[in-house]
Structure 1
Amino acid sequence: MDGCFIRFYLHEDQRCHGRLAWEWLLDQANRLGIRGGSAFRAIGGFGRHHQLHESHFFELAGALPVQVDFIVTQEESARLLELVRDAGLRAPYAHIPARFGVVNPELGEPPAES
């Protein structure tokens, strides 16, 4: 199936509608019927201000980036981006064309393309 890979970049303490933004985004995607999504906390990174943040044992929470990834159809991607836009959430993102499927799918799932 052709679609796209979309990755949102958030801060671990960033909030949206009173919740952690990464949690809110996963929950909203689930409500939209997106088949799956994942959030990953980085061990280090920097953004547009070029300030390096690294994970250390004594570091206060909130400074590190969180990636939230989805592999979706073009229509699902448009709905996700509209959702984030309407919520007023500042979220840099990457949108990359992708081909996806399931190897050895369950009954009713589309087969993987060769």
Structure 2
Amino acid sequence: MKTDQMMGCEENCMKKESTAILLRIFIGESDHFKGKPLYMHIVEMLKTEGVAGATVFRGIAGFGKHSRIHTTSILRLSTDMPILIEVADLEENIDRIRPKLDEVINQGLITEEKVKIVFYDSDKNK
């Protein structure tokens, strides 16, 4: 990542700041692509494409386009919980992977916003 600023945060630690794009991908847990959970396909594709990183979150409640509430409540256990995949990387990398997402997402929502990233790296963990 290009950095706008580099500072020492303490001995043997570097703090890097940069501007990036935060991509949020909202899909359902029951969504699949070629027999595999869609969220796993997307994460593996992002890794193969060299994206900086991705995190998958499983929601405990939510609703979408069809206004059906999905919840983990024992009384109404849903098998299609909301899934959120967050990706933060440089704009050119997000632009490069967007067409690949278009190919695999049939139903869902993607949001994008410019963010400031503060990355801490330390020699202590090496």
Same fold (TM over 0.5): yes
Partner of residue 92, structure 2:
75
Matches of 1:48 and 1:74, distance apart in 2: 28
Contact 1:16 1:89 in 2 (8 A): no
Map 1:1-114 onto structure 2 (within 5 A): 1-57=18-74, 59-61=77-79, 63-87=80-104, 89-103=106-120, 105-106=121-122
Cα distance in 1 for partners of 2:67, 2:57 equals 21
Question: Equivalents in 2 of 1:46, 1:88: separation in Å?
Answer: 18
Displacement, 1:80? 2.2
**Residue 113 of structure 2: SS of its match in structure 1?**
strand
**Share of identical aligned residues, percent?**
15
- Structure 2 unaligned blocks of 5 or more: 1-17
Report deviation, 1:16. 1.2
Task: Provide the TM-score with structure 1 as the length reference.
Answer: 0.82
- Greater per-residue strand proportion: 2
Instruction: Tell me the C-alpha RMSD between the 2 structures.
Output: 1.7
- The letter of the residue matching 1:68 is I
**16-25 or 48-57, larger mean C-alpha shift:** 48-57
Count of aligned pairs: 105
TM-score by length of 2: 0.75
Post-superposition offset of 1:57: 3.3
Contact 1:43 1:54 in 2 (8 A): yes
